[in-house]
Amino acid sequence: MDLKNKKILVTGGAGFLGSKTIIALVKAGANVVIVDNLSSTNKKNINSAARFYNVNIINPDLKEIFKKEKPEIVYHFAFNVSVYKYLDASGVKEGIKGGMNVLENCQEYGVKKVIFASSGSVYGNAKNFPTKETEPVNPFPYDVTKIVLEDKIKLFNKTYGLSYVILRYTTAYGPGQTAGAMSDYIRTLATSEQVDIFGDGKNTRDYVYIEDIVRANLLVLELDENFKEPIFNVSSGKETSLNQLYFAIAKLLNKEAKPSYLKERPDELKRYCLDYSKIKNVLGWEPKYSLEEGLKKRLKEEGYI
């Protein structure tokens, strides 16, 4: 899709995923609008080429932004990075309310397509690996908001014809990321300290490099609006244990790896690995970076090696 001068609104545009996607959108010539209340993001991530609104997506003022800007495409990335925010009813309610406010304004002001950042962990502790999009969802409490909003988006599609794409990302990583186990491991090992790992470190994750995710975020704009079930996993398709990740980082930093192991926390993913064959078959996307390549690239860009 030719994005030159297309008006695109990005919620959560100062976050890791949003800010990296905006760089690519601006480079493609898009006219980008950011909505972010900076509650869990950094003002330094705001792209100077975009118009910025410091507004919570729950706020009724969001309506005035849509009315003024009239975006053609909306990326809904806004989500608190702390899973604990969504472990109680108030957090879930807040996330749903904000998402509904975005969708209602999309419908009212003629947005042509919504791309929603969901999560690969909505499958919970799945039975089949790599997990396909056809696997039943079984979300942990912190993913309930994602599933509810997926259903609401489908409803808006059926009722109002709002075109959408739902992307279920696995564990994203890359330069500039501050949250998550990988970032904690890097910061701690860089100071020659050791981390505490909950459980035995054998739980697995599926790491996908941010540049690969950004390519997917733009590529889905090519999808025909009549495509049925536009829900795609975006992943590496490979399992990596927390132990393997920790020792890989230690090796690259030339540090000793002796983590401490604590009692496993409740509601933890045991295995996590998604099948990306659907988006590969439909749009030709597949990850370019292996975990080793991505880690090296991140550590170099962040000045650790």
For the stretch 266-276, what's the b/e string if a residue is b when 16 or more beta carbons lie within 10 angstroms of its beta carbon?
eeebebbbbbb
CATH number of 174-206+237-274+288-301: 3.90.25.10
For the stretch 69-85, what's the b/e string if a residue is b when 16 or more beta carbons lie within 10 angstroms of its beta carbon?
bebbbbbbbbbbbeeeb
Global pTM value: 0.95
Same fold, 7-172+207-234 and 174-206+237-274+288-301: no
CB-CB contact of 8 with 74 (8 Å): yes
Instruction: Locate 296 and state its tokens.
Output: 């090296």
Domain boundaries, the chain: 7-172+207-234, 174-206+237-274+288-301
Give me the tens of pLDDT residue by residue for the chain, a chain 305 residues long. Answer: 899 999 999 999 999 999 999 999 999 999 999 999 998 888 999 999 999 999 999 999 999 999 999 999 999 999 865 544 445 567 778 889 999 999 999 999 999 999 999 999 999 999 999 999 999 999 888 788 999 999 999 999 999 999 999 999 999 999 999 989 999 999 999 999 999 999 999 999 999 999 999 999 999 999 998 899 999 999 999 999 999 999 999 999 999 999 999 999 887 899 999 999 999 999 999 999 999 999 999 999 999 99
Just list the catalytic residues: 142
pLDDT of residue 86: 44
* 134: CB partners within 8 A, 6+ apart: none
* 269: CB partners within 8 A, 6+ apart: 121, 124, 125, 140, 203, 205
CATH superfamily, domain at 7-172+207-234: NAD(P)-binding Rossmann-like Domain (3.40.50.720)
CA–CA dist 235, 233 (Å, integer): 6
